[in-house]
A = this chain, B = another copy of it.
Amino acid sequence: MGRADRGHKDSGLGLDIDYYHSSSPGVAAEEAEKIGLHLLKVLKNAKNEVSGENIAKEFGISRTAVWKQVQKLRKAGYDIEARPSRGYRLVSTPDQLTKEELEVSLPPEFFGHVFFCEKVSSTNDLAKQMAGSGKFDPVGLVVAEEQTGGRGRFRRVWTSPRGGIWMSLVVRPKISAGSASRVALLAAVAVAEAIISSTSLPARIKWPNDILVNEKKVCGILTEMAAEPGLVEYLVVGIGLNSNFEADRVEAHRTPVTTIQGELGRPIDRPKMISQIVVGLLNGLASLEKKEDQALIDRWRELSVTIGQDIQVQLAGRSIYGRAVDIDDDGSLMVELTSGERRTFTAGEVSFGDN
């Protein structure tokens, strides 16, 4: 897995980053690292034991060399069972994010395009600066174990303790700035679907793209972009998912807060969740570029807890009461006031009843 020297460094981008730096490996060490990563990938995907002999054959190395890699993974916290004549089996994965773990879990285009850091002020800010300086093309991902200056929409503080999923995906879809609001919707669907499929928790969407479980907020999404009006240069989809910690670690705003661990009673496999979200979002974007994302927008409507509710919308200090009737194709919320007049909101803060 490569020796990791933990350190603290200025990113050169004016951001504060604690990071793991893999010491430059020689060719042999690099090869061993690749085998280690591949072995981990095989163990993760296997339903049964994996034969050490087959692995050895595939890489043209000895069974002892394979065993050495297994030892390295065990040292890194992976519980790997070894049964004579049957092979190796991954029993559990440490609940710790690393660049390696992430790269193994993500699609191949992310290899070399993942920036993992222990601590950063804001993954979105770092992702924007990296994307703005031409990096992360065509994609990139910033993941941090902890954020010291995380924020949500309207520059609100977003508490980001260890154990959560604090990530920012950089994408460069060929869409106009006006279509970017659909990306925010697709992101919400991707997160909700990832939660539902991996935990069976009833994830729902609160307009525009908060994710609730049992009426409590579990995830916020902050989509930012750089664009010429006719063409998006890059989008940063920031996702803050309260996963493997208890809800009392974070402060609630208007909506009560929960965590996946709090609802599920156990932590989740974070790299797997990250991967599911990223893959779902990239698939959604591909549909959007082909203008075939209508089914996803309909899915957004199904998962929405906002449509049909009596709500209050706050925007720029004003409050408007009414019933949320639908979203339009750009993701704007359509609200029917008691007077019967309809208003459309592209941004704003929605609350239900007394919340």
Contacts and interface: CB of A to CB of B under 8 A. Distances in A.
- Which of A153, A184, A228, A230 has the largest number of chain B CB atoms within 10 A? A230
Contacts of A233: 224
A91 interface: no
Contact of A178 (B181, B184, B208): B181
A197 interface: no
Contact of A177 (B153, B208, B225): B225
Copies in the complex: 2
A180 B181 contact: no
A225 B226 CA distance: 6
Interface in A257-305: none
Contacts of A176: 178, 181, 332, 346-347
Interface string A211-235: 0000000000011111111110100
A240 interface: no
A345 B176 CA distance: 10
Nearest to A181: B229
Interface string A230-253: 110100000000000000000000
Interface string A136-174: 000000000000000001000000000000000000001
Nearest to A316: B174
Interface string A304-331: 0000000000001000000000000011
The main secondary structure of chain A at its interface with chain B is: mixed
A40 interface: no
Contacts of A332: 176, 230
A222 B229 contact: no
B229 A226 contact: no
Given A177-B177, A178-B330, A180-B177, A346 B226 contact: no
Interface in A185-216: 208
A230 B346 contact: yes
A117 interface: no
A183 interface: yes
Nearest to A333: B230
A177 B230 CA distance: 10
A324 to B, nearest CB: 15
Nearest to A232: B177
Contacts of A184: 228-230
Contact of A228 (B153, B231, B316, B345): B153
Interface string A330-355: 11100000000000011110000000
Contacts of A208: 230
A227 B225 contact: yes
- Which of A208, A330, A347 has the largest number of chain B CB atoms within 10 A? A347
Contacts of A177: 177-178, 180-181, 225, 227, 229
Contacts of A316: 174
Nearest to A125: B132
Interface string A102-113: 000000000000
A183 B233 CA distance: 18
15 contacts: A153-B228, A176-B178, A176-B181, A176-B332, A177-B178, A177-B227, A177-B229, A180-B227, A181-B229, A183-B229, A184-B228, A227-B227, A230-B345, A230-B346, A230-B347
